[in-house]
Amino acid sequence: MSDSKRFDNYIGGEWVAGATYSSNINPSDLSDVIGEYAQADVAQVNAAIDAARSAFPAWSMSGIQARSDSLDKVGSEILARREELGTLLAREEGKTLPEAIGEVTRAGNIFKFFAGECLRISGDYIPSVRPGVNVEVTREALGVVGLITPWNFPIAIPAWKIAPALAYGNCVVIKPADLVPGCAWALAEIISRAGFPAGVFNLVMGSGRVVGDVMVKNRKVDGISFTGSVGVGRQIAVDCIARQAKVQLEMGGKNPQVILDDADLKQAVELSVQSAFYSTGQRCTASSRFIVTAGIHDTFVEAMAERMRSIKVGHALKSGVDIGPVVSKAQLDQDMSYVAIAQDEGARLVTGGERVTCDTEGYFLAPTLFADSTAQMRISREEVFGPVANIVRVADYEAALAMANDTEFGLSAGIATTSLKYANHFKRHSQAGMVMINLPTAGVDYHVPFGGRKGSSYGSREQGRYAQEFYTVVKTSYIGS
């Protein structure tokens, strides 16, 4: 299966060889090399930024019909190739094929959505307080945007940053995650044939330390949209604010899933398994803290243990597999270190906690659940980013709500209940950007705002029409006579 095809960077409308190359390896089968992907050096990143800068004046004034047509073309091709791109995604990232095809479909739909959105850019026309004067409030493109995307959604997150950026007239330099450049490269190749002028879209692959750092610090980049870890995100914010660049960050979560006594048990177990363990728990929206009221606690722990024993872990491309491998050795080590930490802290291992052996050598980990944990334990406070979750018992709804909010994060929060009163109260009082009632905390729509509060996010929302907040700047014009 291994081939050594080389995949280059895309700069100023040309495919450009990398300074070096790095192997893209399948985490379900370490003998499967997907290809050799270019690593840009500092000069290439600067060249991509210059190309974007040169293309910006014409592109930002370009007609919206042509922009819409190109975005629509990209969306149609992604959707037409969803099986093939889904297979590539499952192969490089390790989510199962159905999940990967779902993600590709989401990416295609995002391009379609923004093909429509760029025809709906609107403003306000307001009478001035001075007679005879009128005021116009309009939106203009931000400029050159640097997009830095994570490994866990190799095509959907690039899509939800690239599509609005282009729709609102910006030029793009994107750096996909070093672990999963394949889908971003495939997307770049589709974009390269969709009719965008040279320099409007640029792909520079490589490490955050080299490529990301140049993008964040180069004064010709007007804004950075980043999804990734808290540590990197906070440093990007510092660097961007120091030079007054716009910044948008989506980072970690420690998303609570509250289960109340009156929950439908079967539904609560299904949504909990889905949001904690599917996609190998590698979603910033995954729930990893189950906060369960006393009356249902023991039944819930028992039902989760039983349901989890039926989950099949294996090669992401094999049919019947529910959960693929962890993405990398480093991530597997981190997951296993939290299994040890939770045990040292005194949490009780209900199920999982060990590696799974398959026909191929890969980073397989059994979905892992701890019970008898407390809110102060590290397993309750720190993001693991793997198929590892824990359960905390609480007396009642009020204690559950307080514990759900007792976190430095605030991305997504869920409640399972049949009570309208508690559902409504939770919706209003949860300190998260997204609240899910009788639904998994992960798995969001593509046409509505996405983002969190507190340590999870910074800057304006992504997705839906709210994306325009980041990708445009507002101009107020006064028109006299």
Count other C-beta atoms under 10 Å from residue 384's C-beta: 25
Which of 18, 150, 199, 212 binds ligand UN1 (CB under 6 A)? It is: 150
284 is catalytic: yes
Stretch touching ligand UN1 by CB under 6 A, among 70-78, 147-155, 307-315, 418-426? 147-155
Residue 369 or 442 with smaller CB distance to ligand UN1: 442
The residue annotated as part of the active site, out of 92, 99, 250, 462, is 250
Site for ligand UN1 contains 325 (CB under 6 A): no
Stretch touching ligand UN1 by CB under 6 A, among 29-37, 335-343, 437-445, 473-481? 437-445
Residue 153 or 277 with smaller CB distance to ligand UN1: 153
Stretch touching ligand UN1 by CB under 6 A, among 16-24, 357-365, 401-409, 440-448? 440-448
Do the beta carbons of residue 302 and residue 414 sit within 8 Å?
Answer: no
CA distance 441 to 434: 8
Stretch touching ligand UN1 by CB under 6 A, among 139-147, 231-239, 279-287, 303-311? 279-287
The DSSP annotation for 192-210 comes to HTTTPPTTSEEE--S-III
Site for ligand UN1 contains 250 (CB under 6 A): yes
Q: Least separation, in Å, of the C-beta of 137 and ligand UN1?
A: 31
Which of 227, 257, 430, 472 binds ligand UN1 (CB under 6 A)? It is: 227
Residue 379 or 442 with smaller CB distance to ligand UN1: 442
Name, in order, each residue with C-beta under 8 angstroms of 75's C-beta and a sequence gap of 6 or more: 108, 109, 110, 111, 112, 115
Strand blocks (E) in 275-342: 287-293
Name, in order, each residue with C-beta under 8 angstroms of 401's C-beta and a sequence gap of 6 or more: 258, 425, 426, 429, 430
Stretch touching ligand UN1 by CB under 6 A, among 181-189, 208-216, 365-373, 441-449? 441-449
Site for ligand UN1 contains 284 (CB under 6 A): yes
CA distance 245 to 263: 46
Site for ligand UN1 contains 107 (CB under 6 A): no
Which of 85, 403, 442, 467 binds ligand UN1 (CB under 6 A)? It is: 442
Q: Least separation, in Å, of the C-beta of 196 and ligand UN1?
A: 25
* Per-residue DSSP letter, 281: G
118 is catalytic: no
Site for ligand UN1 contains 91 (CB under 6 A): no
Site for ligand UN1 contains 285 (CB under 6 A): yes
The residue annotated as part of the active site, out of 284, 383, 462, 469, is 284
Site for ligand UN1 contains 153 (CB under 6 A): yes
Residue type for position 449: P
Residue 28 or 152 with smaller CB distance to ligand UN1: 152
Residue 112 or 283 with smaller CB distance to ligand UN1: 283
Torsion angles phi and psi, residue 352, rounded to 5: 85, -150
Residue 227 or 417 with smaller CB distance to ligand UN1: 227
Residue 218 or 412 with smaller CB distance to ligand UN1: 412
Q: Which H or E run contains 26?
A: strand 20-26
CA distance 294 to 272: 17
Site for ligand UN1 contains 283 (CB under 6 A): yes
Give the closest residue to 144 by CA, choosing from 210, 65, 70, 56. Answer: 56
Site for ligand UN1 contains 368 (CB under 6 A): no
Do the beta carbons of residue 235 and residue 250 sit within 8 Å?
Answer: no
First to last CA, the chain: 71
Q: Which H or E run contains 141?
A: strand 134-141
CA distance 7 to 92: 14
**Which residue in this structure is represented by tokens 């640029």?**
202
Task: Tell me the CB-side half-sphere exposure of residue 158, using CA atoms within 13 A.
Answer: 34
Q: Least separation, in Å, of the C-beta of 119 and ligand UN1?
A: 26
Q: Which H or E run contains 22?
A: strand 20-26
Do the beta carbons of residue 227 and residue 411 sit within 8 Å?
Answer: no
Torsion angles phi and psi, residue 233, rounded to 5: -60, -45
Site for ligand UN1 contains 443 (CB under 6 A): yes
Question: If binding means CB under 6 A, how many residues of this protein chain bind ligand UN1?
Answer: 11
Stretch touching ligand UN1 by CB under 6 A, among 54-62, 232-240, 282-290, 324-332? 282-290
Residue 171 or 284 with smaller CB distance to ligand UN1: 284
Which of 26, 152, 430, 457 binds ligand UN1 (CB under 6 A)? It is: 152
Angle 408-455-243 from CA coordinates, rounded to 5°:
150
Give the closest residue to 452 by CA, choosing from 414, 410, 394, 395. Answer: 410
Residue 229 or 374 with smaller CB distance to ligand UN1: 229
Active site residues: 250, 284
Binding region for ligand UN1 (CB under 6 A): 150, 152-153, 227, 250, 283-285, 442-444
